[in-house]
Amino acid sequence: MATTACATDLTRAISCRDGQAATHLKLISIAVIFITSVIGISSPVLLAQRFQGKPAYDKVTLVIKCFAAGVILSTSLVHVLPDAFNALADCQVASHHPWKDFPFSGLISLIGALLALLVDVTATSHVDHHKPCHYTPIGALEDETSNSKKSVDAQLEFGVLSVSSTTNHDGEEEDQQLMKLKQRLVSQVLEIGIIFHSVIIGVTLGMSQNKCTIRPLVAALAFHQIFEGMGLGGCIAQAGFSIGTTVYMCFMFAVTTPMGIVLGMILFSVTGYDDSSPKALILEGILGSLSSGVLIYMALVDLIAADFFHNKMMGCKPWRIKACYTALVLGSASMSVLALWA
């Protein structure tokens, strides 16, 4: 049965191979994907700039970021990981050792998540190294609370509570600065993971000579880049980068996939490398799995958990939690629907 299926797939692939038609479609895809990438990543950034300085600014960026988290989580679980699994499960790969003996796509995704954790912990430790680290046992904490109340009463009696309030205000400003640094770190690591994935998509498309595969991918990848760009753009908007850094990060996202397509076309013209060869499938599966692990970690830990459990704004109003959860679901659904075509 497996042999018959492989033979059928081979016959279909041969009938769809047309180098001239594939090149024409790839040139169209370069322009279309670049334009849609610019639209996708710039939309949340411009929207945040529109509300900057207004009372609704923080609320808008929070909702955008939750939508972004849904897009990125769906990208990793519905698009990247299944593609990586299919590449390593291809007939030309899965019938040989060691690929048929172990689920390597899941293992490499795990490695990607652990690597993302390592980068996150290492960078965060550098950000927080100047903060004093205090550990107080529970019993001592109760005594400290009691002493704190007595101190407040004494300050009220002598009229010096304003000094304590100033100290607390300074502490809040320091926490906000550290949170901003954390958000910038998350945006940068997230862009690295997304660019990694975009390069894989571009090179794979650039090396492909299968017109039947490329034709539906042009439209599907355009919408894919819009939603993925909105996800990354939402994180960039909340991180509060300078204008130069924001433009640079948006530009890098917009040109990565088109540059990957060009690189794939060059590689094929120079080497004649077959994108359906076992080595190409193994490389695609490994890189896709690694990228998937990074994106899953970033979406769940640095975006969803950080906003829903550690963001003070989230607990202020019940409707805000509902709005953010709705945005998360809409982001996930919008990206998942695209899996019907790409």
Q: What pLDDT, on the 0 to 100 scale, is given for residue 2?
A: 47
In a domain, 142, yes or no: no
In a domain, 21, yes or no: no
In a domain, 72, yes or no: yes
Q: What pLDDT, on the 0 to 100 scale, is given for residue 291?
A: 80
Q: What pLDDT, on the 0 to 100 scale, is given for residue 107?
A: 92
CA distance 232 to 43: 11
Q: What pLDDT, on the 0 to 100 scale, is given for residue 288?
A: 80
Alpha carbon of 47 to those of 22, 105, 227: distances in Å?
A: 37, 38, 15
State the total domains in the chain.
1
- Give the pLDDT confidence of 55-66 residue by residue, as tens digits: 777 777 788 778
Give the dihedral sign, CA 99/103/109/110: negative
Q: What is the CA radius of gyration of the chain?
A: 25
In a domain, 148, yes or no: no
In a domain, 166, yes or no: no
In a domain, 292, yes or no: yes
Asked if residue 98 has a cis previous peptide bond (ω within 30° of 0), the answer is yes
Task: Dump the DSSP string for 185-217.
Answer: HHHHHHHHHHHHHHHHHHHHHHH--BHHHHHHH
Domain range spanning residue 231?
A: 38-129+174-340
CA distance 209 to 268: 9
Helix (H, G, I), strand (E, B) or coil at 17: strand
CA distance 289 to 76: 9
Residues 200 and 284: beta-carbon distance below 8 Å: yes
Low-confidence ranges of the chain (pLDDT < 70): 1-18, 123-124, 126-179, 213, 272-276, 315-316, 342
Alpha carbon of 99 to those of 86, 104, 135: distances in Å?
A: 12, 7, 48
In a domain, 136, yes or no: no
Cβ neighbours around 122 below 10 Å, total? 9
In a domain, 6, yes or no: no
75: closest CA among 200, 175, 180? 200
Helices (H), 159-277: 161-207, 211-239, 243-271
Report the predicted TM-score, pTM, of the whole model to 2 decimal places: 0.69
CA distance 70 to 301: 12
Helix axis angle for 211-239 and 318-337, nearest 10°, is 160
Residues 227 and 37: beta-carbon distance below 8 Å: no
Q: What pLDDT, on the 0 to 100 scale, is given for residue 10?
A: 53
Residues 321 and 86: beta-carbon distance below 8 Å: no
